Amino acid sequence: MLKRLVLSLCLFALLSGFALAQNIADDTSNAPRPVKLVPLPPPGPVYIRCGALFDSKSDQLQQNVVIAVEHDRIKQVGKLSPPAGAQVIDLSNLTCLPGMVESHTHVFLQGDRKPGQYDAQLLKQSVAYRAIEATTAAHAALDWGFTTIRDLETEGAGYADVDIRNAINNRLIWGPRMQVVGRAMDVTGAYPLQPAYAWDVTVPIGVQTVDGVEGARKAVREQLSHGTDWVKVYADRGGKIHDNIFDTIPTFTLDELRAIVDEAHRERHRVAAHATGMMGVHDAVEAGVDTLEHGNYIAPEDMKTMVAKGIWFVPTPYVAEYDAQWRAERAGTQPQETPGLKIEEATFRRALQAGVKIAFGTDVGAFEWDMSPARQLVTMVKWGMTPAQALRTVTIRGAELMEMQNDIGTIEPGKYADIIAVQGNPLADISLMQKISFVMKGGVVFKK
Ligand SMILES: [Zn+2]
C-alpha cells in the first residue's frame, strides 16, 4: 500500500515537472529575441547574368551564362532568358565562380607570427573579446569570397568557435559556412604558452593537453561532446633542416595518435593533423589521419601512403612567404627564398606529380585577416598548378574535403547558391581572386 502511494506520488511529481517544463517552453511571448543581421533569401527566382562563368567542373570559362536561384539553391544554369519583370542581378561585366572554400583558418587569431602577438591574445584578451574579433574575421572571410571555411582551432578560446558557427547558422551574424575543431590537442610541454614562461608561473595553453592512450580517447569524447565537427592534433613541433629534409620532433606516440583517430572515426568524425616535417608526417599518415596540414616536407614513401589511404594534403605555402616578407621589411632588405621554402616548394611539386589530393588552406589568422587568403593561389600557380587546378582546390576540392560536395563547390542545379564574381579572367591572372566584387551565400547577397 505504502509502496503504491510512493509510486503514485513519484509519478505525479514527474508529470507536473514535465507540464511545468512544457509551459516554460511554450511561453515564448517574452523570450529575448536576438537581432538577426542576415535576412532570409528571397523566394525567387532571381536571375544572375554572368559575363563569364567558371563552374569548377570545366577547365574553360563559359561566356554569357545565367544562373537562376530559388530560395537558397541554384535552380538552373545556362543560356536562360529571364521572363519580363523578373528580378535580375546584372554581373555581365564580371566572371562568376563558386564561393571559395578555405580548409585551414583561425578566426580566433588576428596575426601570430610577429614577436608577442600570440601571447598577447591569450594573456591580455578575454575569450569574450576574442569572440568579437572572431566575428569580424568571419565577416572578413565572407568579404574575401570564402563562403565556407574549416576553422582549425581557437588557440585558447575553448569551444567559442562552435558558438561562432552556430551564430552564423542562426543568421545572427554574417559569415561563411563553418566546420570547427574547438580546442585541438597536444602533449604535455609541447604547446605555447607553457614552455615559454617561468616554471612557477601558471599561463594558459593554446590547446588541450592530452597524454596516454586512455587520455586520448577521453579527450576525443569530451571535445566532440561540445559540438565540434573535427578533431585536430599537433603531430609534431620544432624542426631542423638536414640533407634537404625538414625533420621535426613527434609529439604523440603512434599508439596515442592511433587511439585518437580510432575514437574519432568510431564516433563518425574525422581528424586533421598539423604535421610539418618528416617524423610528424610519417606518424600522422601511419595513424590514418584524414587531412595533413602544412606538410612542409613529406617523405616519398609517406606520400605513397597518402595516395593509397586517400589522405588530404593542405599545404600552407603563403604563410612562409609572409614570414620572409616581414622579416625583410624589418631588416630593410629584400625577402630571401629560404631553404625551408625551397623544401616546401619541392614537396608541393612532388605531391602534385604523385596525385595526392590537395585542398586550399592558408592558416589565415597566423597572418592578419585584412589580407585576402586567396593570395596563396598565386604561389600555388607559381609552384606548378594550372590556374584551373588551383581554382578547383579552393572550390570543389575543399567541398570534397569537408564532405559537402553535394551542396557546394561547383555551380550547378541543386547546390547552394554560393556564388562570387570577379572582374576579368582569373584563368589568365589568378591574382584577381584577391579582389572579389560580388558575394552571394545561400541565395542572400552579401556584397555587391
Ligand atoms: Zn593552423
State the amino acid at position 102 in one-letter form. Answer: E
Give yes or no for a contact between 115 and 327, defined as CB atoms under 8 angstroms apart.
no
Compute, in angstroms, the gap from residue 93 CA to the centroid of ligand 1. Answer: 36
Compute, in angstroms, the gap from residue 364 CA to the centroid of ligand 1. Answer: 8
Compute, in angstroms, the gap from residue 277 CA to the centroid of ligand 1. Answer: 15
According to DSSP, residue 373 is labeled G
CA nearest neighbour of 146 among 360, 412, 400: 360
Which residues does residue 46 pair with via DSSP β-bridges, in sequence order?
69, 87
Q: Which cell is 249 given?
A: 620532433
Give yes or no for a contact between 195 and 186, defined as CB atoms under 8 angstroms apart.
no
Write down the number of H helices and E strands in the chain: 13, 18
Compute, in angstroms, the gap from residue 181 CA to the centroid of ligand 1. Answer: 11
Cα separation, 74 vs 417, in Å, equals 5
In this predicted structure, what is the pLDDT of residue 3? 53
Q: Ligand 1 being an ion, which residues bring their Cβ within 5 A of it?
A: 152, 363
Compute, in angstroms, the gap from residue 104 CA to the centroid of ligand 1. Answer: 6
Compute, in angstroms, the gap from residue 95 CA to the centroid of ligand 1. Answer: 31
Give yes or no for a contact between 53 and 65, defined as CB atoms under 8 angstroms apart.
yes
According to DSSP, residue 156 is labeled S
Grouping H, G, I as helix, E, B as strand and the rest as coil, residue 160 is: helix
In this predicted structure, what is the pLDDT of residue 28? 59
Compute, in angstroms, the gap from residue 316 CA to the centroid of ligand 1. Answer: 9
Which residues does residue 178 pair with via DSSP β-bridges, in sequence order?
149
Compute, in angstroms, the gap from residue 367 CA to the centroid of ligand 1. Answer: 10
Compute, in angstroms, the gap from residue 153 CA to the centroid of ligand 1. Answer: 7
pLDDT average per 10 residues of sequence, the chain (448 residues): 48 46 56 87 96 97 98 97 96 98 98 92 96 98 98 98 98 98 97 92 96 98 98 96 95 98 98 98 98 98 98 96 89 87 96 98 97 98 98 98 98 98 98 98 97
In this predicted structure, what is the pLDDT of residue 4? 57
Compute, in angstroms, the gap from residue 103 CA to the centroid of ligand 1. Answer: 10
Q: Is the pTM of this model over 0.75?
A: yes
